[in-house]
Structure 1
Amino acid sequence: MADTDDLRFQNDQPRIHPSAQLKGVKLGKYAEVGERVILRDVTAGDFTYFERHSEGIYADIGRFCSIASNVRINALEHPMERLTTHKISYRPNEFFRYQGIDNAFRARRQAKRVNIGHDVWIGHGAVIMPAVKIGHGAVIGANAVVTRDVAPYTIVAGNPARLIRPRFSDDVTARLLQLEWWDWPSATIFEAIPDIQSLSIENFLAKWETRGAG
């Protein structure tokens, strides 16, 4: 049964603000794209949302990610080894006739995709640099500049972003990664919400580790 056939659920189609610009984008169920968001060659999983004025290119983003306003995912990498870092070297077609885009430079950019796991929270104004991988459950602080991979269930912040602390103990983190709750059917997540709201993480795991996927 589709979610939309079940009265417990809202329409599961992505919600896209009319001012958003999307090209080559694949969105999961219940995904949301806010005002003036710009996405190019991006996949985003179920329930993931982008707040206003965020941008992303060449990125694969998991389910249940919370992306705040003014976030930049896979910020443009300029060719510092060339005579000039200006876009005249890789997009000369914007200034001259008979000069095409530099396809080799574009391929270089495309090869450095950003990979963001499930249930990641990216704070206001954060910048994710090319080729970075962010693990499940991680938290990126506001205005952070992420230049290196981020481990699952850790909190990073600053410029450049540095580890602040893990969200949970190593044991709880391992159990959460084993749980893979983001893959549960929507009906199971619906049932679990009261426990998500009221139980400690340890008690939630104790209750749901053996029944969640069902």
Structure 2
Amino acid sequence: MQKIGPDPSAVYPNENIKQICYIKNVITRPNIIVGEYTYYDDADGAENFESHVTHHYEFLGDRLIIGKFCAIAKGVEFIMNGANHRMNSVTTYPFNIMGHGWEKATPSLDDLPFKGDTVIGNDVWIGQNVTVMPGIHIGDGAIVAANSVVTKDIPAYHIAGGNPSRIIKKRFDDEFIDHLLTLKWWDWPAEKIFSKLEILCSADLELIKALE
């Protein structure tokens, strides 16, 4: 039988490289949703990706949604809405979680800043030691430079970096970005991706413009 790529249901797509893990196949939390072929690269335990999603509490209802074919480097941290403190009062100190009577000052959910779901598109490359703040949206094909703190949304096929991150440049012109967003190659069946792999990995953009 001809090989057309790794098994998307495998924990380790390459059995010889255990530092790369397909995240979808190790997720246990219902509020983390990850597409096929998206991987986390970490020699210290790639299968422990969920430990890099912090302050994530089911009662808040926020989700981390990551698309297909994303490349996520070691040290990433997705900070979710549970990290937020009340900001409309004199003090931001969370007295209630310390107990011993202080729970009388428990804030309502309406008192806490809530930024909604964190959404990462398809074919996104997130560099080493990147921190993504609550409610951020990163578009398809974007690149986030190493050591960045993402505090604002990043449009599709843009490169961002810094602390706080800022847009550095577009990867392609608007017309070509529109073509790629229409193409949605990440939704192709495995057989088609395999047959067009050399074109997808080519620097000859004219070849890609001809794809349908």
The normalised TM-score by structure 1 is 0.71
1:193: how far off? Answer: 1.1
Matched with 1:8 is 4
Match of 2:23 among 4, 24, 32: 32
Superposed CA RMSD in Å reads: 3.5
| Kept after mapping to 2: 8 A contact 1:59/1:74 | no
Query: CA 1:39–1:174 in 2, change beyond 3 Å: closer, same or farther?
Result: same
AA matched with 1:79: R
Matched with 2:85 is 78
Secondary structure class of the residue paired with 1:15: coil
1:151 aligns with 2:155: yes
1:45 aligns with 2:41: no
Matched with 2:60 is none
Alignment partners' CA distance in 2, 1:40 and 1:107: 25
| Kept after mapping to 1: 8 A contact 2:140/2:156 | yes
Alignment partners' CA distance in 2, 1:195 and 1:107: 51
AA matched with 1:44: V
Matched with 1:113 is 117
1:127 aligns with 2:131: yes
1:196 aligns with 2:200: yes
Can you list the C-alpha shifts for 1:99-138, whole angstroms capped at 9, x where unaligned?
69x6944996776210111111111111111111111111
1:7: how far off? Answer: 4.2
Matched with 1:23 is none
Query: CA 1:81–1:134 in 2, change beyond 3 Å: closer, same or farther?
Result: same
Alignment partners' CA distance in 1, 2:24 and 2:111: 26
Alignment partners' CA distance in 2, 1:121 and 1:106: 34
Matched with 2:182 is 178
Matched with 1:62 is 67
| Kept after mapping to 2: 8 A contact 1:65/1:119 | yes
Alignment partners' CA distance in 1, 2:107 and 2:24: 29
The normalised TM-score by structure 2 is 0.72
Unaligned regions of 5+ residues in structure 1, if any? Answer: 17-29, 210-214
AA matched with 2:121: G
Matched with 1:25 is none
Secondary structure class of the residue paired with 2:206: helix
| Kept after mapping to 2: 8 A contact 1:44/1:61 | yes
Matched with 1:24 is none
Number of residue pairs aligned between Structure 1 and Structure 2: 187
Query: CA 1:72–1:40 in 2, change beyond 3 Å: closer, same or farther?
Result: farther
Alignment partners' CA distance in 2, 1:186 and 1:110: 38
Matched with 2:16 is none
Alignment partners' CA distance in 1, 2:185 and 2:148: 27
Identity among equivalent positions (%) equals: 31
